[in-house]
Chain A
Amino acid sequence: GAVVSQHPSRVICKSGTSVKIECRSLDFQATTMFWYRQFPKQSLMLMATSNEGSKATYEQGVEKDKFLINHASLTLSTLTVTSAHPEDSSFYICSAETLRDPGSDIQYFGAGTRLSVL
């Protein structure tokens, strides 16, 4: 299967700082990636669709100025949580679909990034 890597796996930061999370497709190109957020004991919530070379599409209720997404290459998308506050503490997960299996629509997920804002 295709491999999606996320970095860092865990980050602790002070309130008011910005945190960048990287999502890489290691062995395939991904023109589209997705970002999710998951709070404890809850399901994954889709935040945005990241499109290579264009603006991300955000889901309703997700602040685009708060969660900056950049998809500058076919293998890398980044999510920056700007001016993080304790309520932003969550598990952030990215996913991508490989063109290697056209029509399969299988999403491959990263291992996730646990953000703790103090």
Chain B
Amino acid sequence: DAKTTQPTSMDCAEGRAANLPCNHSTISGNEYVYWYRQIHSQGPQYIIHGLKNNETNEMASLIITEDRKSSTLILPHATLRDTAVYYCIPITKTSYDKVIFGPGTSLSVIP
């Protein structure tokens, strides 16, 4: 599985866009980039995933560089409820592939 590097922590002002980077330079061609987040003392929550095209859903946007060595998760208008640890995880799409969590980025949304 590809290794990932994420900032340990980030701050974002409420209402502004939060841009969370992830480096996955060793990602293989069949690995998708998944993002999950964990709000304090809760179970993780799926956010978004992609292979090479940019993706958007009701929660966030995912921008993947053309060489696929890095990606950025964008929360367009961060709220206090977006304060959480965000995990970038490369996963090969096979049945019931394990989700292995790294340290992630602790995002603090500040009023």
List residues of chain A with CB under 8 Å of any chain B CB.
Answer: 1, 4, 6, 31-32, 34, 36, 43-46, 49, 91, 93, 95, 97, 103-112, 114
Contacts and interface: CB of A to CB of B under 8 A. Distances in A.
A46 B43 contact: no
Contacts of A97: 96
Contacts of A109: 43-45
Interface in B79-110: 85, 87, 91, 93-104
Nearest to A6: B43
Given A43-B104, A46-B98, A95-B99, A112 B91 contact: no
B46 A43 contact: no
Given A43-B103, A105-B91, A49 B44 contact: no
Contacts of B41: 91, 112, 114
Interface centre among B43, B91, B96, B97 (most CB of A within 10 A): B43
Given A105-B93, A112-B43, 6 more contacts: A43-B101, A97-B96, A105-B91, A106-B34, A109-B44, A110-B43
A90 B34 CA distance: 26
A92 to B, nearest CB: 10
B3 to A, nearest CB: 14
A108 B96 contact: no
By Cβ-Cβ distance, the 10 closest A-B pairs, closest first, are A109-B43, A32-B96, A44-B101, A43-B101, A109-B44, A106-B46, A111-B43, A112-B43, A93-B43, A107-B99
B42 A112 contact: yes
Give the interface SS of chain B, mostly helix, strand, loop or mixed. loop
Nearest to B48: A106
B24 interface: no
Nearest to A59: B98
Contacts of B68: none
Contacts of A107: 36, 44, 46, 99
A97 B34 CA distance: 14
Interface centre among A34, A36, A43 (most CB of B within 10 A): A43
A107 B34 CA distance: 10
Contacts of A46: 98-101
Contacts of A105: 32, 34, 49, 91, 93-94, 96-97
